[in-house]
Amino acid sequence: MIKASAILFDLDGTLLDTKELILASYRYATRKVLGRQLPDEQILPLIGIPLVDQMRHLAAEHADELVKVYRAHNAQVHDKLVQYFEGTREALDVLRGEGRRLAVVTSKRKEPACRGLARFGLQEYFELIIGSDDTAKHKPDPEPLFVAAERLAVPIDTCFYVGDSPYDMQAARAAGAVAIAALWGMFTHDTLLQAGAQHETSTITTLPTLIQTIESTP
């Protein structure tokens, strides 16, 4: 039996539906910098690690320019394209009502992460936001989760990490946190299971019940 000392959340694909925002920014950046649009199937598996690492994987020699153009376009269309997962606020209300400590651990930089949360009035639920600019290493490395636990002053092995990417699951398992797969995000059930997911939930509205179930299981 384990009692959660904190619930940590990924951002993109977990708290915010940013798939179309990300793909639109990628399409624009690759057309402008590379002169061609890369297929979505080449981009989607990279979502969940820092943007600069994604770009280095796709076109190392143009990575810096791709990041610059991507971020500029992303900022321009952000509020129009970022979407809300139905039930998110209600689920967070339940968790907060239970006295849960909530935090965000994302591979996105803190400023755009806060902007996305504020777009839907979600920032107030979280006492801590760890962005890619807060750590030297990034998911799937466990360092961001260790930093979050340290700043919250809680044991990492009593933290639950909710995320939709294999990098989230790998980071959680490497850190010793409880890995919960958010199946409403951008990756498949099988991908998350293979990456080490210990628990799963199909919608964010069922997350509070799942957490209670985990805590009550011997």
Residues paired with residue 108 on neighbouring β-strands, in sequence order: none
Written as six digits, the tokens of 145 are 């989760």
Q: Which of 162, 202, 195 is nearest to 180 (CA)?
A: 162
Is 133 marked active-site?
no
Report the b/e string of 24-54 with b at 16+ CB within 10 A: ebbbbbbeebeeeeeeeeebbebbbbbbeeb
- What count of other Cβ atoms lies within 10 Å of the Cβ of residue 57? 14
CB 11 within 8 A of CB 182: no
| Residues with a known catalytic role | 10
